Amino acid sequence: MKKFMRNVQPEQEFLLLRTGCRYKFLRRDHSTPSGTKHVCMYLGPMPIDKDHERVTTLHHSCHVWVFEK
């Protein structure tokens, strides 16, 4: 089901439509000065370079495809 990132619930897995990468939504951080952060975990293979973190944040208006169970 196509949604915006802000409509995804914690623990849901989704596909980021812009890149085709698979993620799992972990939590919303409300205590940041810039507003709400949507913290996600990348579910692809572990990258070779250590600069690429497995946990990242995504913008609330990103288009995603949520996997329904």
Query: Domain range for residue 24?
Result: 2-66
Mean pLDDT on 1-22? 94
Q: What pTM value is reported for the model?
A: 0.82
Q: List beta partners, residue 24.
A: 13, 41
Report DSSP state, residue 36: E
Domain CATH for 19: 2.30.30
pLDDT at 26: 95
pLDDT at 52: 63
pLDDT at 9: 95
Backbone dihedral region for residue 35 (phi beyond 0: left; psi -120 to 50: alpha; all else: beta) = left
Q: How many domains does the chain have?
A: 1
Side by side, the strands of the sheet bearing 13-16 are 2-4, 63-66, 13-16, 22-32, 35-42, 55-58
pLDDT in tens, 23-65: 999 999 987 787 889 999 999 877 666 666 789 999 999 999 9
pLDDT at 49: 65
Report which of 9, 16, 5 is spatially closest to residue 69, judged by C-alpha positions. Answer: 9
